[in-house]
């Protein structure tokens, strides 16, 4: 699903794909790049940084800008899907689950405040996967 016309090149051969902007991989890589860290700076470390950042810290604005961009793209993509399929609930898995505290409320606010949903009567129900990032592994074992 394209969310950005003439956007970043994707492995699928198209440009501006949802995945290039709204995946956790993209979010974490954008944070690392903007903050000057390499790929050895883990997702866990990034999460700790986001949770502990204070308004007066020099990286506060950078982190919030990257976070806001990520939220905007994720909101656009999810709103597209919600408007087409009208699901009762959206379940987000993967490493987003670990970042739920710093992302989920902002994501819901973005979709609601920007009036992205066609059907205004529907409640917006977005939840994170209870098995977290291990769902695929657990499913494979079962
Ligand atoms: Zn693609």
Q: What CATH number is attached to the domain comprising 121?
A: 3.30.420.40
What is the mean pLDDT of the segment spanning 9-15?
96
How does pLDDT run across 46-96, given as a tens digit for each residue? 999 999 999 999 999 999 999 999 999 999 999 999 999 999 999 999 899
Name the residue range of residue 83's domain. Answer: 18-141
The answer to whether residues 47 and 102 touch, using CB atoms and an 8 Å cutoff, is: yes
Higher-confidence position of 122 and 17: 17
Q: How far is the CA of 91 from the centre of ligand 1 (A)?
A: 21
User: Which residues touch 41 (CB under 8 Å, ≥6 apart)?
Assistant: 32, 35
Q: The whole model's pTM is what?
A: 0.91
For residue 2, being part of any structural domain is answered with no
Distance from the CA of 1 to the center of ligand 1, in angstroms?
A: 7
Query: Distance, CA 19 to ligand 1 centroid (Å)?
Result: 7
Say which residue the tokens 């883990």 belong to: 42
Query: Per the domain annotation, does 8 fall within a domain?
Result: no
> Ligand 1 centre from 22 Cα, in Å?
12
């Amino acid at each position: 699903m394209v969310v950005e016309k003439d956007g970043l090149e994707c492995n699928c051969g198209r440009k501006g794909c949802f995945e290039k902007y709204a995946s956790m991989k993209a979010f974490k890589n954008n944070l690392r790049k903007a903050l000057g860290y390499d790929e050895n700076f883990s997702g866990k470390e990034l999460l700790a940084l986001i949770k502990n950042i204070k308004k007066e810290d020099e990286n506060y604005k950078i982190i919030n800008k990257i976070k806001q961009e990520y939220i905007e793209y994720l909101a656009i993509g999810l709103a597209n899907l919600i408007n087409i399929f009208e699901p009762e609930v959206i379940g987000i898995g993967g490493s987003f689950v670990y970042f739920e505290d710093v992302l989920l409320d902002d994501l819901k606010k973005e979709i609601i405040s920007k009036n992205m949903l066609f059907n205004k009567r529907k409640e917006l129900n977005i939840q994170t996967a209870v098995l977290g990032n291990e769902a695929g592994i657990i499913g494979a074992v079962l």
